[in-house]
Chains A and B, each alone.
Chain A
Amino acid sequence: MVSGIGCSSRAPGYVDFNTLHTTHGRALPFATGIKLAKPEMTVIVVTGDGDATAIGGNHLIHAARRNLDLTVVLFNNSTYGMTSGQYSPTTPTGAFGTTAPYGNAEQPFDICNLAEAAGATYVARGTTYHAKVLPNLIEKAISNKGFSLVETITQCPIYFGRMNKIGNSVEMMKWQKEHAVTKKQAETMSPEELADKFIIGELCHKTKPDYCELYDRIIEKAQASIK
């Protein structure tokens, strides 16, 4: 399990695998090296919204484009919690952060659309409230032979919740419960109704050859060329 830097990225310290706590934003290229060197390993990348889509954004889109057989579990709490509450690429417009004292002027990423557009072959979204659904999404992501990303809406009550007056972790989880809709529900709702909602569950699942499979063919071609 490979992670970058941030609250999300402390997770490998609690699991009994080969775990690698790398540099900020670079978990994916580290994981790329591991996967290519030892394809038989299941490689899971744990990252946060800042780690994966700000400093690590370039690596995210390229790893997805290559359809590397990696599973990314992205903790999206819309803030840089470790460094005490700066705004991030997923902080909603107008929301507050220690570096957005007048409200965030920027547009946030839709991480799932971004990953799918870049080439991911499995994309899903879950939340910490929907804790019974999330393991199934992650399990399917791991079994997908290709680039899989599970965005997990998580709560940061200490900074994002406090600064934006959303309340403590209980209220934040209730917010997740009230603002999450399944794909089916979404199809029956008007754009106005969907305005402040987000879709959870499996969002995309395609089958395409993963990078290692493609590179094995290159090795065959190369070795045939020197016979």
Chain B
Amino acid sequence: MSNSNSSTASQPKYRVLISQEWCKGCGICISFCPKNILAAEGLDQKVKVTDESLCINCTMCEVHCPDFAIQIVPSEANNER
């Protein structure tokens, strides 16, 4: 699971974990993310995070992904859960 971008300002509360292998570029997560921090990248249109610090852990991406390719986990600094 790779995470292509973590903001430097403050430790993000949540981590957006994406499996590049399982993502098929359907765009569902991108369209339903209320904070618009997901975008399609490259020829395969695979998803990547633009600004992880804005993630509010609503998990709209996680529950809608048909291929279990995206997951939200609390970052180490934030033991909210």
Contacts and interface: CB of A to CB of B under 8 A. Distances in A.
Q: Please indicate whether A and B come from the same complex rather than being unrelated chains.
A: yes
Interface of A: 128-129, 131-132, 157, 168-170, 173-174
A173 B27 contact: no
A173 B28 contact: yes
Interface residues of B, number: 8
Contact of B63 (A131, A169, A170): A131
Interface of B: 26-28, 31-32, 63-64, 66
A37 to B, nearest CB: 33
B35 to A, nearest CB: 17
A120 B24 CA distance: 38
B72 to A, nearest CB: 13
Nearest to B58: A132
Nearest to A157: B26
Contacts of B26: 157, 168-170
A170 B63 CA distance: 14
Contacts of B31: 170, 173-174
A170 B65 CA distance: 11
5 contacts: A131-B63, A131-B64, A157-B26, A169-B26, A173-B28
Contacts of A168: 26-27
A168 B28 CA distance: 9
A157 B27 CA distance: 12
B4 to A, nearest CB: 22
Contacts of B64: 128-129, 131, 173
Contacts of A170: 26-28, 31-32
A129 B31 CA distance: 12
A4 B55 CA distance: 40
The 6 lowest CB-CB distance pairs between A and B, nearest first, are: A131-B63, A170-B31, A169-B26, A170-B27, A131-B64, A170-B28
